[in-house]
Chains A and B, each alone.
Chain A
Amino acid sequence: MADPIRWARYRWQRLISTEGREGSRPSNSSNKYHQSSKAIGKHRIVIPCLGHFKEEYEKVSKLYMNNKIRTTKYTLLNFLPRNLFEQFHRVANLYFLFLVVLNWVPLVEAFQKEIAMLPLVAVLTIIAVKDGLEDYSKYKMDKQINNLLTKVYSRKEKKYIDECWKNVNVGDFIRLSRNEIIPADMVLLYSSDLDGICYIETASLDGETNLKQRQVVRGYSEQVSEIDPEKFSSRIECESPNNDLGRFRGFVEHSNKDRVGLSKENLLLRGCTVRNTEAVVGIVVYAGHETKAMLNNSGPYYKRSKLERKVNTDILWCVLLLILMCLTGAIGHGIWLSRYSEISFFTIPEPDGKLIPPTLAAFNVFWTMIILLQVLIPISLYVSIEIVKLGQIYLIQNDIDFYHEKTDSTIQCRALNIAEDLGQIQYIFSDKTGTLTENKMVFRRCSIAGQEYCHEENAKRLESYQEMDSEDGDSADHQCGSSMHISKWEGDDCRAVNEPLNRKSVNLLSGSHSALGREDGAGDAPHSGHVAFSSPIETDVIPDTQLLKKFGQISSHSCDQSEASSKLSLETMYITDFFLALAICNTVVVSVPSQPRQKMRLSSLGRMPIKSLEEIRQMFQRLSIRRLSSSPLPNVKESSSESPSSFVSKLSVFRMKMASPALDETAQRAAELHNMDSPENSHVPQELDMVNVAACCEHNSATSSIELSPLPKLCYEAESPDEAALVHAARAYRCILQSRTPDQVTVDFAGLGSLTFQVLHILPFDSVRKRMSVVVRHPVSNKVVVYTKGADSVMMGLLRTASEDTNNSEVEQMKIKERTQKHLDDYARKGLRTLCIAKKVMSDAEYAEWLNHHFLAETSIDNREELLLESAIRLETKLTLLGATGIEDRLQEGVPDTIQALRKAGIKIWMLTGDKRETAVNIAYACKLLEPDDRIFTLKSQNKSPGFSAGLVIDGRTLEHVLHDSLQNIFLELTEKCRAVVCCRATPLQKSVLVRLVRNKLKAMTLAVGDGANDVSMIQVADTGVGIFGQEGMQAVMASDFAVCQFRHLKKLLLVHGHWCYTRLTNMVLYFFYKNVAYVNLLFWYQFFCGFSGTSMTDYWILILFNLLFTSVPPIIYGVLDKDVSAEVLLQLPQLYMMSQKSLAYLPSTFWITLLDAFYQSIVCFFVPYFTYYGSDIDIFSFGNPINTAALFIILFHLLIECKSVTWIHTVVVVGSILFYFVFTLAFGATCKTHNPSSNPYWIMEQHMTDPVFYLVCLLTTCVALLPRYLLRVLQGTLFPSPVLRAKHLDRLTPEEQREAIKRWRDDSVVNCRVELHTISGSSSSVTALETRGSPAGFCTLAQHDLTFPFRKQAF
């Protein structure tokens, strides 16, 4: 139900160009407010309506809108005039109106005035009703939203009272509790959270479900008690309302003129939900339509499809034809009239008794003819196209193959009018990460201090996942998959329990675990958003043996360190820092999954730095255990195939000690038992208690009930999957990120226990710097440390150079740098994503100096971004390289297959990625974008010999040069000769420039597919933008025209739906042209026999209803349901896509052939009755009736000839149309004696129904008219069958035969190519080499070649 309404709105915005821009911004008043608020300057001043500010408040706040919203376009009163006004912005309606008005001029009047209005009235009414309904639903929504309650501070009652949203004003204090929705944009002044944080969920705004942190304005967070609005005496100055969600600038000025900077971190956005925070208080700064959410709420934009553009040009031809016909009529009438010197019986004199002069009469007739032949301009075509597109979209959305079980999502068609463009794609521009790959980052390798740790066990684990995936295929198995692991794990774990007495606790444990496991499995289904980046494959990392050993050493060392610190070797220090950096240098939010939105908090004990003797003792104990462990490896491996629970890996450490195989089986059985009927409700304790952790260590004691009490699973919510992967990797080495607040990060470091770092700054990631940094104060050394991670290309340049002091460590550092670079290159070659980790220790003085500058940058309003950037760059210098990581991003399911199919379909695929060259090339190979035979060109290569398959790889820096005007053409020429182009290190801007370049210069249909915010510009520029519901939020989806869940869905979307939509719509459009021309020409021919006077031989009602009712539904059904080739065959033979890609169904010649056929048919349809009735006593309408009836049959049967598949719906509609026609004409003929003055078909149909000649005429006319088209189709089908036609033959075969035939078809083309491969070059020529060779014509010939081959072989 929502879709038609959305559709209607769409149409609106498109048709009403001036109003449409405003989208949901309804009233002029809002504009006025805007201007006035602008008038007072760039900034807005927000003052609370309290106490001494009152006067100023009243002065200022009047200028701002209140929180009442009205998104409706109309009110009850202005609906009719305004709606009509808007409707007449539409060209089509204006044309109608013009005709109606024309018809009111008596001299040219062709139809009766009222009847001529019928089409216009029908269209206006339908759209008005649609608008009305849509607006009413909006009104109801508005009302509902406006009347939501929120707590607003009331001055009178000195407390927060319930108030409707619509009564909230700028400057009001609002208090919100957990899970309440934020009513207006407000600055956060208080949060019940001790750290002054508030979590919000922005799902309703951008669809992202991970929590965002917001911070109380600095200076207010220290307050212990809730802020008292009465005492708030500051004024807030901020920028004027704008729609940039990611930016908010302003400052709070206290009464003592102190200024505190405000950023988006302080702003709570309307529409978001408060989570995890008991209560927050904020002051409203933007309300109602001025909130960022509302300003962002602009309507969808409109793209015009290629087919539609073509239709428009053909409609211009129709206009030309119409004018030509009308001119013929006018001239003919003039000549005819000039033959008569005096008034004859049938020429009616003017009121003055004289005959109208022929020229004037001719002029009048011209307009009359326009009215009469108006149908030639197929206005109904536009309406029908839209209905057909709606139907097509409906069918696409309901395709079960696009359903993705894991995310419970299916395809979303956000643009409703470019479905047929899917059938014409020539270029696909694909993002890599998240589009081709799963964007599930898996930690694979790392290099620390120049030493590589290859994590072989982890690789094995991943392989096993891959196998599991391929075996299961179905995601439904995930749940049992994880439960299987659980039981396995439990089996292992039970070894830890060496006393039967402990059975109970084991049960408890297993119960809770299976519950956990289930939750995990369920998490994959509908609410997977809550646990982003946390599927087991990503979270479980098996530590590298070697590294683990070293780690063990550090731990002990660091323990020592707490007493005597300087014994650390350089390497172990590196390792420690490396993992700390992994754990700290990010923006991951920690929460506990058992209570999904409950923020993870440490107990007060946990918050204290570990200093107590007791803990140190425990730590030692733990370490000694580890040292004792003889064979840690296998166990560790087992454990880590488990679901993402940190404590599991922890426990695995302990379990190894008490392995008692004898108990194994019984315990396992017990575990299984409990697995089956495990209670769902087993609750995991919420707090992580250090004592608990410690207790775990005391393993050999019999207090296993404590030891086994499950620890809470930590859930990391990261903004990017890389971060999550790194944090999880760190956790595998028991460097566990425990909690994160804006001020501090707590890491549970294996050897050291819980370390709490004071966070001084976070310099977030941006695409310019390509790195992020965290500035912390190290709890042990108490120094300021900067941890930075980023792309190696930038990081390597920032490292400390050897100039300062040349001691050992510097030399060492150089070596590390060299070796790390080697590893990085190696990683990249293996297709891993690489990151460099570095750190920098600052003295307090250095830090203080930097801080000063930074502070200035933070508080500036105007060019804060640049200043912050500069400041960050100043900080990130002279870094010490710690190491590098290699993260794998696995290919999505079915990607190579899809790429191959699309390639076969003649689509060129470009990969545009921000990753580095080696990674990109590697992925390109993996997904069959590049093939081993391919010769890879870098751009510098001058070799342009086109004989072999070539791939072009180009990186961002080169791209910049290439995109200069002078080189563009050469570059494109080169790319045309390559079968694949990979652009790496491309910025979002470059991506979109490339797409635009190809689109404009090559005049090609482009499709851009991506999943992240960096793909948005590319998606918007391309003819068709496809978003993928990915791990990185919804921006890409929001900007896209189609949103799919998986890359592989593109295959069916393009090959099947694209093909269908295109051919359906094309055929329907051509049919419409045919229908209108054929029908209108009947009237035209008649003009030759009525003195070109504009008489119609058919009753006006029937004439107008013919298009409106009798022949309107079948073409729509045809356009929605026709199926030339079945989906299976289309998928198996991607070559068929080229038919629609090259617009073979709608060549310019096709249009003219169609018109020619229409002319022929109309001539037959007119002249067969003409000669039959020539010279007889037939009257006008009796003459018109057989013509009209025959035309109906011709037009409907023509459709049946063109139909590729006839379902019962087609039958019903066609038969229904015919029946409806007869019923209507019979009823009309029986009833209208006088109602219909000046045109009176009384009893004519009845008379004809009893007349055999009528039937004979209809039969003959229909047969003769359709004969050529029928013959043409037959000959086409026999002599020159198109590939589509031949594919259609396949549908008729039994499945086995079909499979064999398809195989042969494909084999033949392969053999075909193989032969060429061997004969031509023996080098790297392949079928695709041919494809790349040349122009579009080359594609065609290849297609023909491929497809005709099997048959030719048979024939000879």
Chain B
Amino acid sequence: MAVNYSAKEEADGHPSGGVGMPGGGAGAGGAVKTRKPDNTAFKQQRLPAWQPILTAGTVLPAFFIIGLIFIPIGIGIFVTSNNIREYEIDYTGTEPSSPCNKCLNVSWDSTPPCTCTINFTLEHSFESNVFMYYGLSNFYQNHRRYVKSRDDSQLNGDNSSLLNPSKECEPYRTNEDKPIAPCGAIANSMFNDTLELYRIDNDTRTPITLIKKGIAWWTDKNVKFRNPTGDGNNLTALFQGTTKPVNWPKPVYMLDPEPDNNGFINEDFIVWMRTAALPTFRKLYRLIERKNNLQPTLQAGKYSLDIAYNYPVHSFDGRKRMILSTISWMGGKNPFLGIAYITVGSICFFLGVVLLIIHHKYGNRNTSADIPN
């Protein structure tokens, strides 16, 4: 109500410049205009205002309420996070005992690729859909110049950018006078290990179906990343005149046999192109869907991971991991948020109690001193 009242008053006061003024009514003529300021709430600084006074007494409820809200939320999050199953294998191979130790010093283009197999055991079964990630550590995908080293319009299917990539891509812009598609350091350094998961059941390895579609954001796959357009759907033709990134074994149009997962809209590629925020990160690699309601997605038991080890991380002390994780409404396993909420909630509650004591001891004197009894 007060707001409306004031707004109206101000609106009235401003343009007319003193309709309400005694003797100033001449208006247009302005001859009789006095210099008397308008007596509006705004100009006289009498706008109705809420004047919060922060004393122990007034804010007590706020602290208790925050405490009471935060603690349950925290518990909820903590429980949810704890229910998430997660399994992680480091397959970098720095330890000599590791099966992948032999591949530690591979280079990009070693053919045939170095392969290694790691066996592991899941103690608990994974009930719901399982997400398979690869994780990299100490990999600074957020380096300023690395982050910039891409051409979004090329990736969006812009034909002129395809043949004339942005300068940001330097020095991965052209190779042997041919434009690189996709250009830039990010694309050039794309993760190219291949991971395959087998369930070992009485010494028989049954491959687990890894779904490679649906790992990228829908908008990325359908809007942001587009293959070049042109006559026909033959990607080879469309990418005519470009060359593959230096580190890649094969050109972009041969990333995947399926046409809707090939070229720039290859999901592995899209996922890689979404640069990670922190030097330790994981990226979604595959999905393992739950087949039916009777069986868990991944039963507890022995599994083996076959790795085509192509991606060298040893030079920068990087680590490579494979992560299997179920997921909740709040994403992957992370106890931090839950604990933080519980802690903050408790602190607030505690402070509330402290303030209550303070209020009882000192608070009265403020109010009673001013308000006559």
Contact = CB atoms under 8 A, between A and B. Distances in A.
B49 to A, nearest CB: 4
A1206 interface: yes
Contacts of B329: 1252
A480 to B, nearest CB: 16
A1354 interface: yes
B191 to A, nearest CB: 9
B291 interface: no
Interface stretch (B37-45, B196-204, B296-304): B37-45
Interface string A937-950: 00000000000000
A1281 interface: yes
Contacts of A1300: 372
Contacts of B59: 1270, 1274
B189 A346 contact: yes
Contact of A1177 (B276, B337, B369): B276
Nearest to A1200: B52
Contacts of B330: 1252-1253, 1256
B37 A1175 contact: no
Given A345-B139, A1127-B45, A1260-B340, A351 B170 contact: yes
B25 interface: no
Interface string A399-440: 110110100111000000000000000000000000000000
Interface in A1087-1139: 1089-1091, 1093-1095, 1097, 1121, 1123, 1127
A407 to B, nearest CB: 9
B258 interface: no
A1274 B368 CA distance: 18
A351 B275 CA distance: 23
A1260 B337 contact: yes
B279 interface: yes
B370 A1301 contact: yes
A1297 to B, nearest CB: 6
Given A1090-B142, A1178-B277, A1180-B276, A1277 B53 contact: yes
A566 interface: no
Nearest to B355: A1274
A1286 B59 CA distance: 17
Contacts of A1171: 336, 340
B316 A344 contact: yes
Given A410-B37, A1171-B336, A1237 B151 contact: yes
A1233 B147 contact: no
A1055 B369 CA distance: 24
A1297 B144 contact: no
A147 to B, nearest CB: 23
Interface in A161-205: none
Given A1179-B277, A1233-B223, A368 B37 contact: no
Contacts of A350: 171
Of B49, B166, B337, B370, the most chain A CB neighbours within 10 A belong to: B370
A368 B280 CA distance: 24
A1253 B316 CA distance: 33
A1315 interface: no
B53 A1095 contact: no
Contacts of A1260: 70, 337, 340-341, 344
B139 A1247 contact: no
A255 interface: no
Interface in B327-367: 329-332, 334, 336-337, 340-341, 344, 347-348, 351, 355, 358-359, 362-363, 365-367
Contact of B277 (A1127, A1173, A1263, A1350): A1173
Contact of B147 (A1095, A1176, A1297): A1095
B276 A1178 contact: yes
Interface residues of A, number: 107
Contact of A1277 (B54, B189, B341): B54
Contacts of B359: 1278
A1240 B152 contact: yes
B212 interface: no
Nearest to B73: A1256
Contacts of A1173: 277-278, 334
A1175 B139 CA distance: 12
A397 interface: yes
User: Which of B39, B144, B219 has the most chain A CB atoms closer than 10 A to its own CB?
Assistant: B144
A1208 B284 contact: no
Given A342-B315, A1123-B49, A1243-B217, A1176 B337 contact: no
B57 to A, nearest CB: 8
Contacts of B306: none
Contacts of B284: 1177
Interface stretch (B2-10, B111-119, B261-269): B2-10
Contacts of A1273: 54
B16 interface: no
A1288 B53 contact: yes
A1127 B44 CA distance: 10
A1233 B189 contact: no
Interface string A1254-1289: 001100100110010011011111110100011011
B77 interface: yes
A1093 B224 contact: no
B161 to A, nearest CB: 9
Contacts of A676: none
A110 interface: yes
A1291 interface: yes
B370 A346 contact: no
Contact of B368 (A402, A1183, A1204, A1354): A1354
Interface residues of B, number: 100
B158 interface: yes
A403 B334 contact: no
Given A344-B316, A1243-B217, A1292-B51, A1172 B144 contact: no
Interface in A1219-1242: 1233-1234, 1237-1240, 1242
B281 to A, nearest CB: 6
B124 to A, nearest CB: 20
Interface string B131-150: 00101000111111111111
A410 B369 contact: no
A1355 B145 CA distance: 65
Contact of A1174 (B51, B145, B336, B351): B336
A1208 B73 CA distance: 33
A1209 interface: yes
Contacts of A409: 35
9 smallest beta-carbon distances between A and B, as pairs: A1183-B277, A345-B189, A1208-B3, A1205-B49, A398-B43, A1093-B144, A344-B316, A398-B37, A1354-B369
Interface of A: 110, 339-342, 344-351, 353, 368, 395, 397-400, 402-403, 405, 408-410, 526, 1060, 1089-1091, 1093-1095, 1097, 1121, 1123, 1127, 1168, 1170-1180, 1182-1184, 1201, 1203-1209, 1211, 1233-1234, 1237-1240, 1242-1243, 1246-1247, 1251-1253, 1256-1257, 1260, 1263-1264, 1267, 1270-1271, 1273-1279, 1281, 1285-1286, 1288-1293, 1297, 1300-1301, 1304, 1350-1351, 1354-1355
Interface of B: 2-3, 6-7, 34-39, 43-45, 47-57, 59, 66, 70, 73, 77, 133, 135, 139-153, 156, 158, 166, 168, 170-171, 185, 188-189, 217, 219-220, 223-224, 274-284, 315-317, 329-332, 334, 336-337, 340-341, 344, 347-348, 351, 355, 358-359, 362-363, 365-372
14 contacts: A348-B146, A409-B35, A1091-B143, A1123-B45, A1172-B336, A1176-B332, A1208-B3, A1233-B223, A1252-B330, A1270-B59, A1271-B351, A1289-B366, A1292-B53, A1301-B370
Given A1267-B347, A1270-B54, 19 more contacts: A398-B44, A399-B43, A1089-B142, A1090-B279, A1091-B140, A1174-B334, A1176-B331, A1177-B284, A1180-B142, A1207-B50, A1252-B329, A1252-B330, A1253-B337, A1256-B337, A1263-B70, A1277-B56, A1278-B55, A1350-B369, A1351-B369
